[in-house]
Structure formats: structure tokens, C-alpha cells
């Protein structure tokens, strides 16, 4: 990763200076606002996440592709552009070279963002929900590249679990196979993104940002090259009603199957269906989850910068 050629990736001055000085920096992805959230709230949420990171004393590095250049530390103007242009591609790690060569603009997924963040020396990354193993993956082989990328990128990722549209037990099995460390923040119950608990359990809970920083430090001391996932559940008061959640997800899958939705269009289709079926409630939860993860990511980055 460190062998990436400098001209393919542009790191903003603010981020380059912050990482060089050992100041806390939090990476933020762009697929969440190019493909995950509807306009015009997408841009607002992207900027709000940056504000939250700053309020917590860290520097936000939103990452995306502008006309073929991978940018670590997008300007507000670039975030505006990516939020509103129509021809913006969803860019996972395998797409990076193609969009660079074709000079396309794109929103980077967790996989591509983690790759680029690590290249820039960033150690903490906050997102909403990770990609994972899709329902029916034993037939379709649809498993997010987020998982395989995270197996090889030593970075802390804060999420509210994997998106609840996924097969969560299967995803946890794959995380184990891929040597990806999973920590529950204040809980051993693995969160279900829109809901506080997914029904799956994880081995380790941590209670403070400092504890995550200690795990990260030990990870580096061992020379381990895999990610540390911090699963940060939404509070019970703010979660989607669990019964409605279960019903809507079942419907979303049935519609995707009936509509022949496949490949990287699956995740945006399901998220959009759920937003409409819950009359915006899932959108509110999605945004709350992201705010909370941006905040915790900044706290972890600060703790890691001190250790
Ligand atoms: N979670 C959200 N909204 C999103 C995503 C996750 O709430 O838009 C995005 C992330 O960028 C993640 C990607 O990396 O979806 C996973 O897509 P796929 O399953 O196609 O790998
Ligand atoms: Mn997929």
C-alpha cells in the first residue's frame, strides 16, 4: 500500500500536516453521501460529520475521487460537487484504477476509503455501516469487498455493525476467518445498524476510547496488518422499531429479488427501499448512527494520538 504512486492520490495540506504532526485525524467515506443518502440531505450530513469530528478535537479527512484523482481531505466544494453530480460512480478498491484512468468522479466505499486513508497515514475511520455477506451469498457469492480489504489494512473502523440488510451471523464468521478484530463499544451484543442489537454476540467489549487506542497500539506492536472494527450500537431510544425493521427488511429483499437487482446496485437499492418503506425513519436512524460514529471515531483518534 505504501508503494502507491504519489500522483494517484492527493492528500490535502491540512491532512498531510496533521498526520505528520501526529495530530488526531478521522477518515470519512463518500459512498455514504454519493449513493447511500438522498439529496439534498446527503451533503448536509457529509458536512455535519466533519463538524462533529472537529468539535471533538480531531481533523476530518473525507475521501473521494474527483475527476480521476483520489483525494484524501476533500474540500467543502468538492463534497458539494460529489453530492450533486449525477455521473458519480460507486468506487470500491477494484474500481480505483479504472476511475483514475477514465478520469471519473466517485464516492469511495469503506474498502476504497480504508485503502486510501491508510496510504495517507490515517489510523481511524468512521462510517455508518460496513458492507458484509449478503443474504443468499452461498448462491450469489455477493460479499462486500469491504471485508477482504479490511483484512489487509491496519486501521480502526467505527461502525454500527454491518448493515442489517446483510446476513449478520455469516458476516461475523467471515470477519473471524479474515482475522479482523471486532470490539463492541460498551456491549457484547453485536449491533444491527438500525437496531441496537442484531441478535448475534461478540467476544470482546471495550468501554472507553482509550481502550480502543490500546488495542490499536498492540496491533501495531505485533505487526498485525488487519483492521480493528469498533461496533458502536445506536441507543435503544433512537433505534428503529425492531418488529418494523424485521418486516421491512424482508420486503426489501423480496423486491430486490423480484426486480433482478444484483451486484453493487444491491446495497443502494435496499437502503433506498427501506427509507421509503419506513417513511424516512430509517434515514433518521442512519444519520444518527453516523453522527455517533463520527464522534466516537474522533475520541478514539484523540486517545490514539496521545498514546
Ligand atoms: N452503509 C450505509 N450507507 C452506505 C454504505 C454503507 O449506511 O452507503 C456503503 C459503504 O460505503 C459500504 C458500501 O462500503 O455501502 C458497501 O457496498 P457493497 O455491499 O456493494 O460492497
Ligand atoms: Mn456486493
Q: Kindly report the protein residue whose alpha carbon is nearest to atom 6 of ligand 1.
A: 129
Q: Is 90 annotated as a binding residue?
A: yes
The answer on pLDDT for 240 being more than 80 is yes
Q: Where do the domains of the chain lie, and which CATH numbers do they carry?
A: 1-122 (3.40.1790.10), 127-307 (3.40.1790.10)
Tell me how far the alpha carbon of residue 129 lies from the centroid of ligand 1, in angstroms: 7
Specify the higher pLDDT residue, 162 or 307: 162
184 in Cβ contact with 203 (< 8 Å):
no
Q: Kindly report the protein residue whose alpha carbon is nearest to atom 18 of ligand 1.
A: 144
Per residue in 138-190, pLDDT tens? 998 999 999 999 999 999 999 998 888 899 999 999 999 999 999 999 999 99
CB-based burial label for 90 (10 Å; 0-12, 13-18, 19+): buried
The answer on pLDDT for 267 being more than 90 is no
Q: Is 34 in the pocket of ligand 1 (CB under 6 A)?
A: no
Query: For residue 1, what pLDDT band results from cuts at 50, 70 and 90?
Result: very low
| The pLDDT of residue 121 | 97
Q: Is 144 annotated as a binding residue?
A: yes
Catalytic center residues? 29, 163
| The pLDDT of residue 307 | 79
Cα dihedral: 78, 162, 160, 119 (round 10): -50
Grid coordinates of 103: 478520469
The answer on pLDDT for 242 being more than 80 is yes
* Ligand 1 atom at minimum distance from 31 CA: 11
Helix, strand, coil abundance in the chain, percent, nearest 5:
50, 20, 30
Q: Is 18 annotated as a binding residue?
A: no
Tell me how far the alpha carbon of residue 31 lies from the centroid of ligand 1, in angstroms: 7
Segment 238-256 mean pLDDT: 93
293 in Cβ contact with 127 (< 8 Å):
yes
Which of 24, 193, 46 minimizes the C-alpha distance to 107? 46
Grid coordinates of 198: 442484531
Query: For residue 17, what pLDDT band results from cuts at 50, 70 and 90?
Result: very high
The answer on pLDDT for 5 being more than 70 is no
> How would you write 33-64 as a 3-class SS string?
HHHHCCCCHHHHHHHHHHHHHHHCCCEEEEEE
Phi, psi of 74 (to 5 degrees): -65, 145
The answer on pLDDT for 228 being more than 70 is yes
Query: For residue 4, what pLDDT band results from cuts at 50, 70 and 90?
Result: low
Q: Is 95 in the pocket of ligand 1 (CB under 6 A)?
A: no
Q: Is 264 in the pocket of ligand 1 (CB under 6 A)?
A: yes
Per residue in 86-121, pLDDT tens? 899 999 999 999 999 999 999 999 999 999 999 999
| The pLDDT of residue 6 | 60
* Ligand 1 atom at minimum distance from 107 CA: 11
Counting residues of the chain whose pLDDT is more than 70, the rounded percentage is: 98
Residue found by looking up cell 490500546 in the block = 214
Give the C-alpha separation, 128 to 178, whole Å: 21
- Average pLDDT for the chain: 95
Query: For residue 2, what pLDDT band results from cuts at 50, 70 and 90?
Result: very low
The residue to mutate among 41, 126, 131, 288, having the most atoms of ligand 1 within 8 angstroms of its beta carbon, is 131
Complete DSSP assignment for 125-189: EE-S-B--BBTTHHHH--B-HHHHHHTT---EEEESSB-TTB-HHHHHHHHHHTT-EEEEES-SB
Q: Is 146 annotated as a binding residue?
A: yes
Angle at 299 between CA 156 and CA 186, to 5 degrees: 75
Tell me how far the alpha carbon of residue 131 lies from the centroid of ligand 1, in angstroms: 5
Amino acid at each position: 500500500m505504501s508503494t502507491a504512486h504519489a500522483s494517484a492520490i492527493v492528500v490535502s495540506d491540512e491532512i498531510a500536516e496533521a498526520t505528520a504532526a501526529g495530530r488526531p485525524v478521522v477518515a470519512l467515506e463518500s459512498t455514504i453521501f454519493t449513493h447511500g443518502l438522498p439529496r439534498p440531505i446527503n451533503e448536509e450530513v457529509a458536512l455535519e460529520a466533519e463538524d462533529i469530528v472537529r468539535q471533538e478535537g480531531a481533523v476530518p479527512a473525507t475521501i473521494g475521487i474527483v475527476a480521476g484523482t483520489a483525494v484524501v481531505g476533500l474540500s467543502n466544494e468538492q463534497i458539494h460537487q460529489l453530492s450533486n453530480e449525477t455521473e458519480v460512480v460507486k468506487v470500491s478498491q477494484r474500481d480505483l484504477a479504472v476511475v483514475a484512468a477514465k478520469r471519473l468522479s466517485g464516492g469511495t466505499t469503506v474498502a476504497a476509503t480504508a485503502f486510501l486513508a491508510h496510504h495517507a497515514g490515517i489510523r481511524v475511520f468512521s462510517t455508518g455501516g460496513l458492507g458484509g455477506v449478503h443474504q443468499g451469498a452461498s448462491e450469489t457469492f455477493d460479499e462486500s469487498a469491504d471485508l477482504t480489504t479490511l483484512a489487509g489494512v491496519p486501521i480502526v473502523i467505527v461502525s454500527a455493525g454491518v448493515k442489517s440488510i446483510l446476513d449478520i451471523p455469516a458476516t461475523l464468521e467471515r470477519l473471524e476467518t479474515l482475522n479482523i478484530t471486532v470490539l463492541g463499544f460498551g456491549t457484547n451484543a453485536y449491533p444491527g445498524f438500525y437496531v441496537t442489537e442484531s441478535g448475534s454476540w461478540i467476544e470482546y467489549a471495550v468501554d472507553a476510547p482509550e481502550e480502543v487506542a490500546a488495542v490499536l497500539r498492540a496491533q501495531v506492536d505485533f505487526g498485525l496488518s488487519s483492521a480493528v472494527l469498533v461496533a458502536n450500537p445506536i441507543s435503544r431510544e433512537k433505534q428503529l422499531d425492531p418488529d418494523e425493521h424485521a418486516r421491512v427488511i424482508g420486503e426489501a429483499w423480496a423486491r430486490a429479488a423480484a426486480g433482478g437487482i444484483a451486484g453493487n446496485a444491491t446495497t443502494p437499492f435496499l437502503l433506498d427501499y427501506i427509507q421509503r418503506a419506513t417513511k424516512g425513519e430509517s434515514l433518521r436512524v442512519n444519520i444518527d448512527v453516523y453522527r455517533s460514529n463520527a464522534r466516537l471515531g474522533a475520541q478514539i483518534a484523540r486517545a490514539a494520538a496521545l498514546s
